[in-house]
Amino acid sequence: MPMYVRGHKLKNRLFFAPMGLDLANRDGTFSDELFEFYRGIINGGCGFLVLSNASVSQYSILQPNGLRLFNETQSLSLQKIVRLAQEAQTLVGVQLQHYGGQGVTTYTRGKELLTPSGVPCATLKKKDSRYRVRVMTLEDIEIVKAQFVESARLAELSGTKLIQLQASNGYLLGSFQSPATNLRTDQYGGNAVARGRFLLEVIQAIRATISTSTMLSLRLGVDDYLGDKGTVATDFETLIPMYEEAGIDLIEASICVADTFSVLTGDAPEVSALLHLATKTIKSYATVPVGFAGLVRSVEQAEEILANGIADFVGMARALFADNDLIIKSLNGRQDEINWCLWDGKCFKDKHNPRYQRVYCCVNPKYKRPE
Ligand SMILES: Cc1cc2nc3c(=O)[nH]c(=O)nc-3n(C[C@H](O)[C@H](O)[C@H](O)COP(=O)(O)O)c2cc1C
Ligand code: SF4
């Protein structure tokens, strides 16, 4: 069933969730390898997809081969895939990312990573011998806001009609939302609404500059998996209407931060249950479509989730990485030909393996991990 957002038709409710493959060129431009990868995903039949992790700042980098979007060369390199998607009537969006304290100092020429309150991330600290963070000043906040606005302008320049803000998984915008990482006592901290202020201002600033026909989506961290110490879905009761009023058109719920992400690498039913409940909670506060990505393995399961009213749209990252044609094969009754994801989480682990510096798969012959 299609979905209509800001006058655009999304041909179905299944999307390829953002997946940083670390296959961009070293200057952050879109590479031929990425083009081939996304061509496969587009041909596989999803309604829309988001090109992941386009960093808004040269001082916010996680992988040397990550996508970046802070100059016009990077923007123009996206045009070819955007045009291809338009021809296939599939919407392709760009995810704008600031890694915050979950970046790598080694790749930012020693610049300290920006965080709301200087709380380090244990996972990244272990990976990066030069890991250092600092507390953002009010001036930093204005600079980063301007970086998001510029990056959104560059996204539009590439021709895309969908921009996604990465406000989940412990990265900068998500870390402002979380009581575990935002200990500020100024206007950007103190309670859930104040912690949401930075994101709100970023949304307002972007909406004030982009075209009214461009969709703005939020990848929202709805539970850090840290219990009461972190973000929980009920933190957003007041914020969701404010984000909508500021111009958000779609919300993609996500859970976990870098230090808890390993719970998503298996396929534990209690993790799915938490994600479904958190998504439903956000949906109860929202009037715009709300979806999620996490642990959905098949089209049949996605259809059940939609039929049960848990979400308005459903994402798959690993299942579609394992088989780019999973959707088409399922719709044509060719389930027996699908390369099913093993849920071993090895693609996650590749991201932190210096031997690879890119993501591979165990079952997809196109991206087979070298032995
Ligand atoms: C290798 C890998 C890279 C990922 N990169 C990103 C990313 O760049 N941005 C993002 O928002 N999520 C990223 N994710 C998270 C996925 O979007 C998704 O939330 C997560 O994998 C759970 O969905 P799944 O169970 O369908 O894989 C990544 C996941 C994997 C496995
Ligand atoms: S590497 Fe493993 S978990 Fe990742 S997509 Fe492939 S089979 Fe699935």
Count of positions (residues) in the chain: 371
**Ligand 1 centre and the CA of 18: distance in Å?**
6
- The yes-or-no verdict on residue 370 having pLDDT over 90 is no
Supply the range of the domain harboring residue 123. 3-367
Q: Which residue has the higher pLDDT, 358 or 209?
A: 209
**Ligand 2 centre and the CA of 295: distance in Å?**
12
pLDDT (0 to 100) of residue 128: 86
101, 146, 167 from 20: Cα distances, Å: 17, 24, 15
Q: Which atom of ligand 2 is nearest to the CA of 339?
A: 7
Q: How confident is the model at residue 355 (pLDDT cuts 50, 70, 90)?
A: confident
**Ligand 1 centre and the CA of 186: distance in Å?**
33
pLDDT (0 to 100) of residue 110: 82
| Nearest partner of 11 among 81, 84, 80, 85, judged by Cα | 85
Backbone phi, psi, residue 229, to 5°: -75, -20
Specify whether the CB–CB gap between 299 and 307 falls below 8 A.
no
How many separate domains does the chain show?
Answer: 1
| Nearest partner of 351 among 320, 317, 326, 324, judged by Cα | 317
Average pLDDT over residues 155-163: 97
| Angle of the 269-285 helix axis to the 239-246 helix axis, nearest 10 | 60
Average pLDDT over residues 224-250: 98
Quick one: three-class SS letters along the chain? CCEEECCEEECCCEEECCCCCCCCCCCCCCCHHHHHHHHHHHHCCCCEEEEEEEECCCCCCCCCCCCECCCHHHHHCCHHHHHHHHHCCCEEEEEEECCHHHCCHHHHCCCCEEECCCCCCHHHHHHCCCCCEEECCHHHHHHHHHHHHHHHHHHHHCCCCEEEEEECCCCHHHHHHCCCCCCCCCCCCCCHHHHCHHHHHHHHHHHCCCCCCCEEEEEEEEECCCHHHCCCHHHHCCHHHHHHHHCCCEEEEEECCCCCHHHHCCCCHHHHHHHHHHHHHHHHHCCCCEEEECCCCCHHHHHHHHHCCCCCEEEECHHHHHCCCHHHHHHCCCHHHCCCCCCCCHHHHHCCCCCCCCCCECCCHHHECCC
Q: What percent of the chain has pLDDT over 70?
A: 100
- The yes-or-no verdict on residue 267 having pLDDT over 80 is no
**Ligand 1 centre and the CA of 317: distance in Å?**
6
| Nearest partner of 215 among 3, 8, 2, judged by Cα | 8
**Ligand 1 centre and the CA of 58: distance in Å?**
22
pLDDT (0 to 100) of residue 306: 97
Q: Encode pLDDT of 311-351 as tens digits.
A: 999 999 999 999 999 999 999 999 999 999 999 999 988 88
Stretch among 179-188, 250-259, 262-271 having the lowest mean pLDDT: 262-271
Q: What percent of the chain has pLDDT over 90?
A: 90
Average pLDDT over residues 271-279: 97
Q: Encode pLDDT of 46-86 as tens digits.
A: 999 999 999 999 999 999 999 999 999 999 999 999 999 99
pLDDT (0 to 100) of residue 354: 79
The CATH number of residue 185's host domain is 3.20.20.70
pLDDT (0 to 100) of residue 358: 85
* Beta pairing, strands 3-5 & 8-10: antiparallel
Identify the residue whose C-alpha is closest to ligand 2 atom 4. Answer: 347
- The yes-or-no verdict on residue 302 having pLDDT over 90 is yes
Looking at every residue in the chain, the average pLDDT score rounds to 95
Identify which of 361, 364, 369 to mutate to test ligand 2's pocket (most ligand atoms within 8 A of the CB): 361
Average pLDDT over residues 224-238: 97
Cβ–ligand 1 contact at 318 (below 6 Å): yes
Cβ–ligand 1 contact at 317 (below 6 Å): yes
pTM across the whole model: 0.97
The closest ligand to the CA of 262 turns out to be: 1
Pocket of ligand 2 (CB under 6 A): 318, 321-322, 341-347, 361-363
Specify whether the CB–CB gap between 252 and 218 falls below 8 A.
yes
Q: Which atom of ligand 2 is nearest to the CA of 345?
A: 3
Q: Encode pLDDT of 98-157 as tens digits.
A: 999 999 998 888 899 999 999 999 999 988 889 999 999 999 999 999 999 999 999 999
Q: Which atom of ligand 1 is nearest to the CA of 254?
A: 19
Identify which of 324, 342, 359 to mutate to test ligand 2's pocket (most ligand atoms within 8 A of the CB): 342
Q: How confident is the model at residue 209 (pLDDT cuts 50, 70, 90)?
A: very high
9, 147, 298 from 331: Cα distances, Å: 20, 42, 11
Specify whether the CB–CB gap between 350 and 369 falls below 8 A.
yes
Cβ–ligand 1 contact at 293 (below 6 Å): yes
Residue 5: CB partners within 8 Å, gap ≥ 6?
215, 249, 250, 288, 289
